[in-house]
Amino acid sequence: MSKFLFAPFMMNLGESQRLSKLAEHLYQKGHEIHVIGESYYPFIFDNAAYTWHHCPADSEIYNQERYDSFFSLSTDFNFLTKQEIETVCDFERELLRQENFDAVVTGYRLSIITSCRLENTALIWIISGATHISEIVENSEGLFSNNKYFQSNRRRSKLNHQQMKKTVEKMITSYSSNVSTWNNYLKKNGGLPFNNALELFRGDLNLVADYSQFYDFPSHSSYKTIGPILIDDVGFSTQKTADESKILLSFGTSFKKEWVEKFLTKLPENRHYLLTTCGRDIKLPGSHVQTIDFLDFAKLDSTIEFAIIHGGQGTVYAMAAQGIPFIGIPFFNEQFWNIKKFSRQQAAALLENPLEQNVNQILNDFTEHLADYKEKMLVLTHHIKEEAEHSLEKAEAEIATFILQNKL
């Protein structure tokens, strides 16, 4: 049996749930499970048999105040100070040396990528296919969704669009200073520096927890599609009301409070909404918006007419599992691409810069075609749930093959 260290970004609910489900599956198969981090949700990695490792630097780094700086391929990844990187990576590297794990499994703990590189420890990513270079280049407008120059170019010729894609590919794959602080630590300790920020999102094995028909990777690729790992019923509140159905508003665990409050004022008051707040205090524009801290996405039943969401990987698949069409408002790159996959199947609508648009008209248009959106979403629901039934077994098989090859 193998010995694994799970290294999630504990505050990210969707990512942590996927890793938690995989850890439990591997544990049930007899593998030894270790976890690094501070548990943020009590039901995540809830198994007394796991061995926990608590890094003292985590509370200062992985917290709500610094959450936003961790999430974007187009922003600067130098979000930790020199001292913070040394503290957290020194701790992680010592742990890797002491425990001699067969592999580390992560979903967004970026410090562990640096530590694994220095200690030559096998690294497995549970990741979105949207981070693959071909996907980024093909959907490069996601990097520039609020960029006026790009938006003006988007209305020009196909040749201009191809030139923009080439520019994006060169920008991403060439050496970038936005990983310089990580590279300073790597070079100081005799390690190979990152060529670009994309290398932060690439392990020795990359298991894509997405619907297989959304992505097509070559057989020799380090990206292996295993199918969605859907969110379970974890004991959150379920909305049980006898009144009319509502429009679900869910913007993940990293939303900007100020943006949400502004967006709420744009919503027409003749509709009813249910906003997930993740326990944060939100100023509401009126009684037409109700709130709930957390909601069991696996038990929405008929209480939700449709949803307006941020496009996080866990949330889009939660909507698909329930057959709920949605309007997606992306805040950073991966979310844009996740929404686009569903909008291309006409099961969702992509909405950019909603504060500058007539939200009432957008909701009216979406409602007018809601039956068509729902029909398309239900087709995806069938296939996605079918794949999700075997995603953990597929992950286990890919990991077993990977471990065996590493030992040869």
Contact 172, 197 (CB under 8 A): yes
What is the per-residue pLDDT across 56-99, written as a single tens digit (0 to 9) for each?
999 888 877 777 667 655 567 888 899 999 999 999 999 999 99
The predicted pLDDT at position 243 comes to 57
Confidence of residue 260 (pLDDT cuts 50, 70, 90): very high
Cα of 362 vs its chain's centroid, Å: 26
What number is the average pLDDT over the span 173-200?
A: 87
What is the per-residue pLDDT across 270-315, written as a single tens digit (0 to 9) for each?
999 999 998 889 999 999 999 998 887 777 766 889 999 999 898 9
The predicted pLDDT at position 263 comes to 95
Confidence of residue 170 (pLDDT cuts 50, 70, 90): low
The predicted pLDDT at position 221 comes to 84
Query: How many angstroms separate the CA atoms of 282 and 161, rounded?
Result: 40
Hey, do 3-227+390-407 and 246-387 end up sharing a CATH topology, with the first three levels equal? yes
The predicted pLDDT at position 13 comes to 84
**Topology of the domain comprising 246-387:** Rossmann fold (3.40.50)
The yes-or-no verdict on residue 144 having pLDDT over 70 is: no
What number is the average pLDDT over the span 131-151?
A: 57
Classified as helix, coil or strand, 263 is: helix
What is the per-residue pLDDT across 202-232, written as a single tens digit (0 to 9) for each?
899 999 999 999 988 888 888 999 999 998 7
Domains of the chain: which residue ranges? 3-227+390-407, 246-387
Write the DSSP symbol of residue 135.
H
What is the per-residue pLDDT across 327-337, written as a single tens digit (0 to 9) for each?
999 887 788 88
Written as one letter, the residue type at 72 is S
Cα of 262 vs its chain's centroid, Å: 24
Q: Which of 354, 355, 315 is nearest to 338 (CA)?
A: 315
Pair of tokens at residue 294: 């957390």
Write the DSSP symbol of residue 242.
S
Domain 3-227+390-407 has what CATH class? alpha beta
The predicted pLDDT at position 59 comes to 86
Helix crossing, 313-322 with 370-388: angle to 10°?
Answer: 110
The predicted pLDDT at position 398 comes to 96
The predicted pLDDT at position 149 comes to 37
Confidence of residue 152 (pLDDT cuts 50, 70, 90): very low
Confidence of residue 3 (pLDDT cuts 50, 70, 90): very high
pTM for the model: 0.87
Confidence of residue 191 (pLDDT cuts 50, 70, 90): very high
% of the chain surpassing 70 pLDDT: 84
The predicted pLDDT at position 153 comes to 45
Q: Which region among 145-149, 260-264, 293-297 has the lowest average model confidence (pLDDT)? A: 145-149
% of the chain surpassing 90 pLDDT: 60
The yes-or-no verdict on residue 147 having pLDDT over 50 is: no
| Cα angle: 268, vertex 350, 266; to 5 degrees | 20
The predicted pLDDT at position 43 comes to 86
The yes-or-no verdict on residue 121 having pLDDT over 90 is: yes
DSSP letters along 270-331, please?
TS-EEEE-TT-----SSTTEEEES---GGG-TTSEEEEEE---HHHHHHHHHHT--EEE--S
In the predicted model, what is the mean pLDDT of the chain?
87
